Structure 1
């Protein structure tokens, strides 16, 4: 039995490294005097809208690189193939979420320490195992379970959980941040953000949105070009959690390899 995993995960994380979005509210005055009810004041901004484009990009980078965890939700293309990713990951290498890899299929994944659970759909099982009907029947609806220390393939798939690599890439973006230009304050999902536009390390145009309420978190990135991608970042510093798939729904891949 031979496993054949795709590796879009690493590319997806790299594409989202500079993605940012923010929060806030509108501040409108009531000119009707005492005849109209008083409207609550909008929360004060964090002030980054007063900075230059490069300074805003650096602020967002610093928040991303210092986060203990973040959720990355991305949709776009890689090599012309449609891709989706929704992953909560932390800087210890733990994660939980899902990924769709175009024609290769999709899978859910949970990683805690060196333990990995992965639940592939029917198409992804074909990508991994070909037309092996016996294995497909055995794994349908099940979680593949294994360790990154003993299963190289599962270790490769778990690279999608590598928040530290994303942060390291962002930390090295100082020079590229110098080219960013500032846009005007706008709203995103009802909250105020400040967009900055420039190019990533590959020279592709990107627009980052940075939060104006609370910390200047990077919360959204839109990358245009041949492989356009829209990514949102949220759930900063939220624990990944320790819940694991039920043992009755998991199949130990080491044992399956032995029996095969």
Structure 2
């Protein structure tokens, strides 16, 4: 039997009328998972498994927000993919740029960054000031054996970052339907939120969209999943190579 447009309209009107009549008895609530990818109906542990799998299945993502580690707050705005990443990091009021292409890591910052040690104390000596001036706004190659390499390369490693960040601690449960930047989400929590909360997209693939880390360890947003971007080494004229170790303050 063929249903005409008029028939569909009458049927929709009838459903609405029945719903309105029954609202006092049943609430006739809308299904929050209607038209979604369906993960909102799953147990929290399965949602976490699916969102981690979705995050690992694509090569590119943008990550922005704050991460608190070892008592220090880092504000990140990074584009990441399988073979590297690029973006900015702000710590202690100072912003520097990171670029990793394959194994090669570059760090670009102004002279003030190079004139201070990692605790924010001024470096002494005229030679330090002269070296800092030469590094001002240049991409500095970070040697793989330098302590800074391990410290900063992690900010450019998609798999390493996501594996560490997308883990909720404690008992994982769902915490209702929400919305992030106009996208419907299902929220899961670890230990009622003390172990972190994660909003997972209900539209398209179940990508993680927003993470609040447990213990006040930062809040991060994820976007541009699967959107490729250019990743190229800087021009030679914009690069300084310090050999085996960066200058120390």
Give the TM-score of the pair, scaled to structure 1: 0.68
Q: Could you tell me how far 1:52 is from its partner in structure 2?
A: 1.7
Q: Aligned pair 1:64/2:55, yes or no?
A: yes
2:205 is aligned, of 212, 215, 219, to: 215
RMSD: 3.3
Contact preservation (8 Å) 2:110, 2:135:
no
Aligned residues: 210
Q: Helix, strand or coil: the match of 1:44? A: coil
Match among 131, 137, 140 for residue 133 of structure 2: 137
Shift of 1:78: 3.1
1:236 corresponds to which residue? Answer: 225
Structure with the greater relative contact order (CA < 8 A, sep ≥ 6): 1 or 2?
1
Residue in 1 aligned with 2:117?
127
Partner secondary structure for residue 84 of structure 1: strand
| Aligned pairs (5 A) from 1:79-118 | 79-92=70-83, 94-102=84-92, 105-118=94-107
Residue 53 of structure 1 aligns with which residue?
44
Contact 1:65 1:170 in 2 (8 A): no
Show the counterpart of 1:155: 149
Q: 1:192 is matched with which residue: 184, 202, 217? A: 184
Q: CA deviation at 1:251?
A: 1.5
- Choose which of 171, 175, 184 in structure 2 pairs with 1:179: 171
Q: Distance in 2 between matches of 1:53 and 1:256?
A: 46
Q: What's the counterpart of residue 25 of structure 1?
A: none
Give a deviation string over 1:56-105, Cα, whole Å, max 9, x none.
1121121123332322212153344332011122233x1111111225x3
Unaligned 5+ segments in structure 1 are: 1-28, 32-42
CA contact (8 A) 2:142 2:246 kept: no
1:158-169 pair list within 5 angstroms? 158-169=153-164
C-alpha spacing 1:120/1:170, structure 2 compared with 1 (3 Å) = closer
- Are the equivalent residues in 2 in contact too, given 1:57–1:177 (CA < 8 A)? no
**Contact persistence 1:119–1:144 (CA under 8 A):** yes
**8 Å contact 2:189–2:198 — kept in the other structure?**
yes
Structure 2, unpaired ranges of 5+: 1-11, 17-33
* Higher CA-based Rg: 2
